[in-house]
Homo-oligomer: A and B are copies of this chain.
Amino acid sequence: MAVSIIDVARLAQVSTATVSRALRGLPNVSEATRERVLRAAEELSYRVSPQASSLASGRTGTVGVVLPFVNRWFYSQVVAGIDSVLRANDLDLLLYNLGDARVHERFFDRMPLRRRVDALIVLNLPLSQREAEALVSMEVPIAVLGTRIHGCWQVSIDNAEGASTAVRHLINLGHRRIGMITGALGDPRGFTTPIVRQHAYRTVLAQADIPYDPELEAPGHLTIEGGAAAMARLRSLSDPPTAVFAESDQMAFGALRTLTRMGLRAPDDVSVIGFDDHETAELLDLTTIAQPVTYQGELLARQILDALSGDEAEPTRVVVPTQLVVRGTTGRVRAAGTARQRSPEQLASQPSRPDQ
């Protein structure tokens, strides 16, 4: 059997209550006693039993993180941010990956986190009204990324602003025929982000007096393959776009691949702008809308700390800024038929060529 608090108490010649107090750094313990207890614990290499501790205290020392994918760049990045803050505060991180639909269902059916965590962080999950209520009914602080749940702490980016900036960037470069590769619009689970971004796209076009053409919106399912297919579709139009806004970098990557395979280039033939600033974006020289990913994770964890400390009464809502990162895949529109020439500015931001 492992060494327990009783053993420490015996060795230090005090009661278990005092050991508990001394070890947790509670104030009402004399320095001498604390010293003695600490030494005894050290000598026996005593470790508290987390389950006994939580059983007695009601706290678990654990924060649940619920997300739809662990293995996508965005989410793993957010988790890293969460982890760093939680770890620094001695909180454990219980991971719940609800990617699979059955797992998702089962999760809300059985609520396995119910008595298992002190707080919850929910990443970008599309939730039904019923599911949101189920979470709230756990009666622990909840911090949500992306989605919005009444009474919960919240971190998000301004999707409308980011998408608008992207489209305006293209308009400023002279483009009028602008396509959009949209995300999971048809997804029955209903992520809301794609809707917001699409709306922003349409609004900005309207503001610029550019007529709306539904053919210019192609679904890309948030994947590389989807983005590739979407770009292929856009290129096949009788009047293809001169610029494309892909609402995720992943889809933009696919779009770029399609262009490459067709023997076309960005921005010479088509300008392409993405969203996220995925780690690969810099590699592919992709212009994009950057969002601070790890930072959002840190913010979520901090909100949880605030909530658990109980100081801050009201849940807060933080909107973090996005930023246009201009790289090499967007450029001024070319007049139809004009030879492919690039301006000096573009040359500067482009890889030099072996032939001058």
Contacts and interface: CB of A to CB of B under 8 A. Distances in A.
Q: Give the number of times this chain occurs in the complex, counting copies.
A: 2
Contact of A76 (B71, B84, B261): B71
Nearest to A116: B50
Given A2-B115, A94-B92, A83 B70 contact: yes
A112 B61 CA distance: 12
A344 interface: no
Interface string A178-209: 00000000000000000000000000000000
A254 to B, nearest CB: 8
Using C-beta atoms within 8 Å of the partner chain, give the interface range for chain A: 35 or more
A351 interface: yes
Contact of A115 (B50, B94, B110): B50
A60 B51 contact: yes
Contacts of A73: 71, 73, 76
Contacts of A27: none
Interface in A23-77: 47-52, 54-55, 60, 62, 69-73, 75-77
A203 to B, nearest CB: 32
Contacts of A47: 110-112, 114-115
A265 to B, nearest CB: 6
Interface stretch (A5-13, A95-103, A168-176, A302-310): A95-103
Contact of A83 (B77, B95, B253, B354): B95
